Amino acid sequence: MNPGQQPVAVISGGSSGIGLACARQLQQRGYRVVLLARDEGRLRAARQNLADASSPAAEIHALDVTDAAACEAAIAAVLARHGRIDWLVTSAGIVEPGLFTDLDLAAHRVQIETNYFGTLHLLRAVVPAMRAAGAGRLTLVASAAAFTGVVGYSAYGPSKFAVRALAETLFSELAPFGIAVSVACPPDTDTPQLAYESTRRPEATRLIAQSGGMLSAEAVAASMIRQAEAGRFLLVPSRLMALFGLFHSLSAPFFLRRQRRLLRRLQAQVRLRSKRR
């Protein structure tokens, strides 16, 4: 790769939310950005959103990250055009909340396929090129739900646990090849995905989420990119989240007990309402 060329960043889930905000951060740092997402119309809108006379227009590729062949083809096209990929951000993901007894198998499968395998497909396509170049950066977007089990996330949580575990493994395996790996674990973030999810959360999940607050996609992305550039592995947007990330094995039992108490209280309220009818 010619070190004088403009660096290239590929962002999945790049048409909105954290992915689009990361694209803006990287564009401002001089990267040529390539956006991947399913909906071509939203990709075009995102490209227009990023339009800047001082930067080349963002490139777009419409694909479903659950399709391994489509991911290979898109990455091959980027490499053929630019000869390099310097940064991959895997931000594509979905959430279908629901209590375990209410979710069907399809909801579990689609979240694993999108959140975990969608990440894996892009990594497998990009890593060989980075390894050959002896440099590169991979930023995997997991979730605060990747630290401990959360009521209502029996399908989503495991998919993000898997992303975090993959990042931890690659952090060690790819370091000898000059590839820096990091994992982002943001809390609730103001995105179209959260707007969709919030209307479908069980009551217990909604109450648990209230205590965590909500951040803007721009704030999360700025924190992610800044911390990744500083060489951090765990990318979190606040000191509280950093502490939780470091000590989640110790704090998880207390959090789990708190959730059980909340569920017992909600169940008692349901029984009381039933008796009054």
Q: Which string of DSSP letters, residue by residue, matches the chain?
A: --TTSPPEEEEETTTSHHHHHHHHHHHHTTPEEEEEES-HHHHHHHHHHT--TTSPPPEEEE--TT-HHHHHHHHHHHHHHHS---EEEE-------B-TTT--HHHHHHHIIIIIIHHHHHHHHHHHHHHHHT-EEEEEE--GGGSS--TTBTTHHHHHHHHHHHHHHHHHHSGGGTEEEEEE---SEESHHHHHHHTT--HHHHHHHHTT--EEHHHHHHHHHHHHHTT-SEE-SSHHHHHHHHHHHHHHHHHHHHHHHHHHHHHHHHHHHHHH-
- Show me where the domains of the chain are located: 8-249
The span from the CA of 31 to the CA of 130, in Å, is 16
Is residue 239 predicted with pLDDT exceeding 90?
Answer: no
Is residue 119 predicted with pLDDT exceeding 90?
Answer: yes
156 tagged catalytic:
yes
**Are β-strands 87-90 and 234-235 bridged in parallel, bridged antiparallel, or unpaired?**
unpaired
23-75 tens-digit pLDDT = 999 999 999 999 999 999 999 999 999 998 678 889 999 999 999 999 999 99
Q: What is the dotted CATH code of the domain comprising 8-249?
A: 3.40.50.720
Question: What is the model's pTM?
Answer: 0.86
141-185 tens-digit pLDDT = 999 899 888 999 999 999 999 999 999 999 999 999 999 999 999
Alpha-carbon distances, residue 111 vs 20, 46, 103, 153, 271 (angstroms)? 21, 24, 12, 10, 32
Lowest mean pLDDT among 58-72, 139-153, 206-220, 244-258: 244-258
Give the model's confidence band at 220: pLDDT under 50 very low, under 70 low, under 90 confident, else very high: very high
The catalytically annotated residue of 31, 116, 153, 156 is 156
